[in-house]
Each structure stands twice: as structure tokens, then as C-alpha cells.
Amino acid sequence: MIHHLNCASFAPRLVGPMVAHVLLVERADGLMLVDSGFGTADLADSVRLGRAFKAMMRPVLLPQETALAQVEALGFRADDVTDIVLTHMDLDHAGGVGDFPRATVHVYDAELDAARHPRGMEHGRYLEVQWKDARFATHHATGDDWFGFESVTVLGDDVLMVPLAGHSRGHTLVAVRDPGADAAGVEGWQVHAGDAYFHRGDLADPPTTPRVLKVVQKVLAQDDELRRANQQRLRELATAEHPGLRIFSAHDPVELAAWTD
């Protein structure tokens, strides 16, 4: 079973409400998170999130929105979470890592290198205190084909990381096999695209992204040319007719509502 959670809410000016879309996947040998939003320590000491981030994103820090609180509300324990797969390590995606000390944290190797050795503007996006004690498993593209993309098998054959850099050095999308679609005889995947795009209009052809979000994506990109090229590849995948493929981003509240309403 795959649960869709909001693990952080934001109210940035001009942009409108945003979320931190996180997956909680029930697997035979434990629970897996895809991204983690903010953690309990972030709420206890919100100063560490930084003045610039808080001014830009205006996070609404609610204890019930942490991944830990929602895992427990579903009747599980923190120790039941055995794996966390991160699309990238920005502070609003990796904050919950510290709440699950038994979990192995899977990340693309280029992203962990960026977080540990930030350059230039990267210094503002990573918060080492969130993950300094984590047990990491790093991955690199192996050349396996997934709908024309290089991919990495992370856990069994049901969880893949697909490198999609640009927003950050080692950004990836995470594809989780959809048991419901597979049961219907379709190759089904729920595809968490992280921050490869911010708004559902980014994947339309032609795009219908609000202008302010176009600017935000450009400003936050580590390599904007690469980001735009990879977003185009993702757009082509989204507009092709793959009936079992459902793609969503980390921050679009309408996409989250489509799974939770």
C-alpha cells in the first residue's frame, strides 16, 4: 500500500499554498519513505531553517504534519521505517531523516557529495544537522532502461531512482511500482519527481506554468540549462500515453489532493 502525505505546508507570497508531498510505502519487510519533509527537530528549533528560507517559503510548522506523527497516526512506529529514499537533500526534503534512526537513507551519490561539499549557492540549501548521523546508501546510474531513462534499482524491483539533475547536482525522481495498476495488467508506477518541476502546468504541452513559478525554478536551479532539458524529457514522458504511469511533484497541492481527496 502507498500512502500520500503532506509533511510540510508553505504559504509563500505571490505563489500560493505549497506542500511537501511524501510517500509512505508499506513493503513486505518494512516501511519506506520517499522524501521526509520537516522533522520534529526542525519544529523544535525553527531558527535553524534560516532566515532567508523562512522569509521566502513561509513554512507553516505543524507537529501533526511531520512524517513521524503521520507514521504513528497510521499505527506504526518509527523503527518500522527501514528505508528513506530522497529525491534530493534540500532542507525541506531531508528534515525528517533524523526521526527514523534505524532507516537506511538512499541518495544519489552526486547529491550527497553536494550536501557534504557545497559550492556557492548550495550552502543555503543543505542543513547538515538534519542528516549528520544518518546511515547512507549511495547510488549511481547503472544504465538500466526505464521508459528511456537511465535508472538505478534501489530496493528489489519495485523502487527505482532515475537521475534528473538540474534543480540540484544529484536530483533524482523516485519511481515506486504501483501494485494496483500491476493487478490490472498494466505496468504501473507512481513517480515522485521531487523538484524536477513545481507546478502541474510544467508538464503540459505547451507548458502552462504560472510566471512566478518559472522564475522561482530558475532562481533555485543549480544548473538551469540542465534542469530545463531534463524537465522537457519528463514532459515528453508525461504526455506520452503510458496508462500505468502517474507523475507528481513535491510541492503542487492540487497533485497531492488528487491522491488524498
Average confidence (pLDDT) over 252-261: 94
CATH placement of domain 2-260: 3.60.15.10
Domain spans of the chain? 2-260
DSSP bridge partners of 106: 85, 137
- 143-196 residue pLDDT tens: 788 898 988 888 888 999 999 999 999 999 999 998 876 655 567 899 999 999
- 28-73 residue pLDDT tens: 889 999 999 999 999 999 999 999 999 999 999 999 999 999 999 9
Q: What is the pLDDT of residue 50?
A: 93
Which own/partner pairs from 199-208 qualify as long-range (CB within 8 Å, at least 24 positions apart)?
Answer: 199/249, 199/252, 200/249, 200/252, 200/254, 200/255, 202/231, 202/235, 202/249, 203/234, 203/235, 203/238, 203/239, 203/247, 204/235, 204/239, 205/235, 205/239, 207/235
With 0.75 as the threshold, say if the pTM is over it: yes
